[in-house]
Amino acid sequence: MKILHLEVAETPQESAEESETCARHKYPSMTKTNGNFRLKVEEGEFTDSQIIVLLGENGTGKSTFLQMLAGLMKPDSVEGSDSEIPDFKFSYKPPKMRTKFECNERSVLHTNIPDSYMDPQFVSNVMKPLLIEKLMDKKMVNLSCGELQRVGLTLCLGKPADLYLIDEPSAFLDSEQRIVASKVIKRFIRQAKKPAFVVEHDFIMATYLADRVIVYEGEPSIDCVATSPQSLLTGMNLFLSHLDITCRRDPTNFRPRMNKHESAEDLEQQSTGYHYYMDD
C-alpha cells in the first residue's frame, strides 16, 4: 500500500526523517460559533517544514480555523494541554484576492515584500514559475482573478513568517498553473523550513502538497469537527469514505483518479475499506 503522490524531489521517507529533527508545535482544542454554525477543533501537533492540508466540504469551517490560528478571529473557548494558541508570526493568503489599487504590481511587491522581491532565489523559485515578472507593469485593478491569485501567493510566501496560512491557492488557476503553484509552495516550505496550513479543494493539488491532513466531519454550515492532523493515507481514507468515493492511481500519469461509482474498481476498494488505495 502506498500514499498517492505526484512525483516530487523529496521522498516521503526523507520528509519523515526531516520531521524528526524539526521543531514541534501544538495548538489547543478550540470552539467557535458563528450564527447557527458551530465548529470544534481538536487539539493537534505539527512540525516545521510540514504542510498540513485541510480537507472538507464547503461550509465546514476551514477558513475559520485558519483565521483563529492567525489571531484574526478569536475562538469562543480554548482547552487542552496547551491552552493558548501559539503566538506565531504568520503570513496569510485569503481565498480571494480583491483590489482597487491603481498602482502597478511592481510597486505593490516593492512595498510589501521588498527583501524577497530583490532576492535572486525568491525570484527564481517563486516569481518566475508563477510568471509574476510578466505582470510587473500591469495595474493591480486590471489583473484577472487568476493573475491576482498568483500575486497573492507571491505576497504570502514573500513575507517572512513562522507559519504560512494559505487559503485555496488553486482558485481561478487552470490545471497547468495549479501544478506549478503546488511545486512552488512545496519547494518554498521545504527550503524555508517553516510549517504551512493549506485549504485546498483540488484533489490532485491536495494530495501533492499534504504531509498530513485535517479532516472536517459533520454537517456543513451547522455543526462540524476538525480532526487532529493525521497521515495522508488515513486522512484521505476517512475523507473519501464520507463522500462515498474511491480513488486509485492512474497507471499512465500516476495521478490520483476517482473510480466510477459502482465500477469494478470502486466495488473492490469499497469491499476492502480502502477508499484511498493502490497496489504496488
Q: What is the pLDDT of residue 250?
A: 67
The answer to whether residue 14 scores a pLDDT higher than 50 is no
- CATH classification at residue 162: 3.40.50.300
Is residue 233 very low, low, confident or very high in pLDDT (cuts 50, 70, 90)? confident
The structure's pTM equals: 0.84
Q: 274 or 201: which carries more pLDDT confidence?
A: 201
Give the mean model confidence (pLDDT) for residues 240-252.
75
Q: In this structure, is residue 265 part of a structural domain?
A: no
What is the tally of structural domains in the chain? 1
Q: In this structure, is residue 87 part of a structural domain?
A: yes
Q: In this structure, is residue 254 part of a structural domain?
A: no
Q: In this structure, is residue 204 part of a structural domain?
A: yes
The answer to whether residue 178 scores a pLDDT higher than 70 is yes
Q: In this structure, is residue 259 part of a structural domain?
A: no
Among the listed residues 77, 71, 72, the one whose alpha carbon sits nearest the alpha carbon of residue 32: 77
Q: 111 or 97: which carries more pLDDT confidence?
A: 111
Burial of 43 (0-12, 13-18, 19+ CB in 10 A): middle
Parent domain of 51? 12-243
Question: What cell was used for 104?
Answer: 502597478
Count other C-beta atoms under 10 Å from residue 261's C-beta: 11
C-beta of residue 156 within 8 angstroms of C-beta of residue 93 = yes
The answer to whether residue 219 scores a pLDDT higher than 80 is yes
Q: What is the pLDDT of residue 8?
A: 36
Q: In this structure, is residue 208 part of a structural domain?
A: yes
Q: In this structure, is residue 49 part of a structural domain?
A: yes
Q: In this structure, is residue 272 part of a structural domain?
A: no
Q: Which residues are CB-contacts of 50 (< 8 A; sequence separation ≥ 6)?
A: 19, 22, 189, 195, 196, 211, 212
DSSP 54-104: EE--TTSSHHHHHHHHHTSS--SEEESSS-S-----EEEE-SS------SB
Q: 28 or 11: which carries more pLDDT confidence?
A: 28
